[in-house]
Amino acid sequence: MDRRRALAAGAGLAAGAVLPLAGATRSAAAGSAAATYTNPVIWQDFADIDIIRVGATYYASASTMHYSPGAPVLRSYDLVNWEIAGHSVPVLDFGAKYDLNGARGYVRGIWASSLAYRPSNRTFYWLGQIDFARTYVYTATAAEGPWNRLTTISTPYYDAGLLVDTDDTLYVAYGNTTISVAQLSPDGRSQVRTQQVFTTPSSVGTLEGSRFYKINGQYYIFLTRPANGQYILKSSSGPFGPYTMRQVLLDLRGPIPGGGVPHQGGLVQTQGGAWYYMAFVDAYPGGRMPALAPVTWTADGWPVVQLVNGAWGTSYPSPAVPTPPRQVTPMTGVDTFDGTSLKPRWEWNHNPDNTKWSVDNGLTLRTATVTNDLYWARNTLTHRIQGPTSTATAQLDHSAMRDGDRAGLALLRDSSAWIGVRRDGGATRVVMVNGLTMDGNWNTTGTGTEAASAPVSGGRLWLRANADIRPGAARAGTFSYSTDGTNFTRLGPSFSLGNDWRFFMGYRFALFNHATQALGGSVRVLRFELSTP
């Protein structure tokens, strides 16, 4: 993928992504006891951010690759505290590989895409290309959904940025190194024209990750140089240019120790006129973490990121915004799988077999695949890890497992390990397994080695995984179990979390249940808790 690390990031702005410039960033609300915020604003893996404001609410979208549903929609009222509202792509129905049917979609799927709001029909739009083949457009009248596919367009808009112009025309900026602009039909279902508008100078290298804005009558295309720079193009002559370029940042020290340069994100303006840039920071093994910084503008209309001691600040004054109407739903805490549907914090590894799982005051996972390879097993349910360190604890009823079944809690990536239950010959053991590996083409090279085990009796077990996802040196994951939910016993050696960026997605906690002999068994997850020290 010619080192396309910046699968894109982004932003829209308030209704229609067309707002006046603010002269300077506003300070934190007067009298506020907590007058600052700390970066990263979300210490979970949400990359290639596109960010918009609709009225008093901020929304952001992110890449999810092979996880389903895809393209999460985040919601905030203050740019600092975020919740997951839903997903723009309900199912990855882009081919059998996304069902783990004869092929696999690892590191494919939802790359840098775009989120926008169209005031004329009060509709949210998501737009993104899949597999370099075509572009898909989904719409919804509420961010939490339901989202429905509007159309497919034969041109694959790589790293797309969608602009709703002041006259309601839809434009898309896209491309890698060669940047183009497309105009869509009034209904958004087809392409009217497309034209190359910029070629990146060889002295800069690669530019991608388009975000498209109209600000004070000027057109801007915000671009990333993966993985250490951000540039912006400006046109005074309309969306098709010509454009001039200016560097926004390069090799800027970021707010996460050991992490990378903030890049590939988007611009957004508050109700009070202040501007902010939300980017992501490469912070493997956990992934790419959103960070927020205020932006001011030069007199001739170029954005300037406000620095702290020459770096992207670890802390800034909190945005001056109205008091939020409510607290957002935390991304950590307890899930007892109440109700009959999964909460939006959960995403499956590839599309699930919906006949093999259910939620009803507990999560039932029936075996959906006969395999000895977790990377081929359907219905593996994942949850992002909270940084810098966090612990996942799952209460598992394994009484309905069958011989040959494997169920448990994994640290899932291209190098994985898990703790869980093996049922063999009528005997039940709790095991720690490591050595699950994939190569650079995402083919399985290791299906796992049992590193430790212990016999268990009864039908209920608590499984625990702890993950240190601070970037830099090799970090450890550890596993333990309990028969009473209170006293936990460590099992197996520490697992070294891989921090190579090429898988793009960071480690996740994952709940799984697959068969190695025959289908028919099941487990029930009664409780899942994600906690921080």
- What is the structure's pLDDT at 34? 59
pLDDT band at 28 (very low <50, low <70, confident <90, very high): very low
Pairing between β-strand 50-54 and β-strand 333-335 as defined by DSSP bridges: unpaired
The region, left, alpha or beta by phi > 0 then psi within -120 to 50, assigned to residue 99 is: alpha
Share of the chain above pLDDT 70, in %: 94
Task: Judge whether 18-317 and 333-531 match in fold.
Answer: no
Residue-wise pLDDT for 90-129, tens only, equals 999 999 999 999 999 999 999 999 999 999 999 999 999 9
Residue-wise pLDDT for 15-25, tens only, equals 333 333 333 33
| Domain boundaries, given as residue ranges, for the chain | 18-317, 333-531
The listed CATH number (2.40.50.140, 3.30.360.10, 2.60.120.200, 1.10.510.10) that belongs to domain 333-531: 2.60.120.200
- What is the structure's pLDDT at 406? 98
- What is the structure's pLDDT at 57? 98
Supply 75's token pair. Answer: 């919601």
C-beta atoms surrounding 317 within 10 Å: 18
- The Cα–Cα gap between 347 and 383 comes to 7
- What is the structure's pLDDT at 31? 35
234 within 8 A of 243, measured Cβ to Cβ: yes
469 within 8 A of 533, measured Cβ to Cβ: no
Residue-wise pLDDT for 160-213, tens only, equals 999 999 999 999 999 999 999 999 999 999 999 999 999 999 999 999 999 999
- What is the structure's pLDDT at 111? 97
pTM: 0.94
**Between residues 28 and 416, the one the model is more confident about:** 416
- What is the structure's pLDDT at 294? 98
Residue 4 has pLDDT above 90, yes or no: no
- What is the structure's pLDDT at 22? 32
Query: Would the CA dihedral through 340, 343, 344, 350 be positive or negative?
Result: negative
Q: In a 3-state reduction of DSSP, which class is residue 40? A: coil
What is the CATH code for 18-317? Answer: 2.115.10.20
- What is the structure's pLDDT at 13? 36
- What is the structure's pLDDT at 106? 98
436 within 8 A of 354, measured Cβ to Cβ: no
- What is the structure's pLDDT at 260? 98
Side-chain-facing half-sphere of 161: CA atoms under 13 Å = 40
Burial code (b: 16+ CB inside 10 Å, e: under 16) for 139-164 equals: bbeebebebeebbebebbbbbbbbbb
Q: What are phi and psi of 156, to 5 degrees?
A: -80, 105
Q: What are phi and psi of 374, to 5 degrees?
A: -60, -30
pLDDT band at 398 (very low <50, low <70, confident <90, very high): very high
Residue-wise pLDDT for 216-225, tens only, equals 999 999 999 9
- What is the structure's pLDDT at 473? 86
Residue 45 has pLDDT above 90, yes or no: yes
Share of the chain above pLDDT 90, in %: 93
- What is the structure's pLDDT at 177? 97
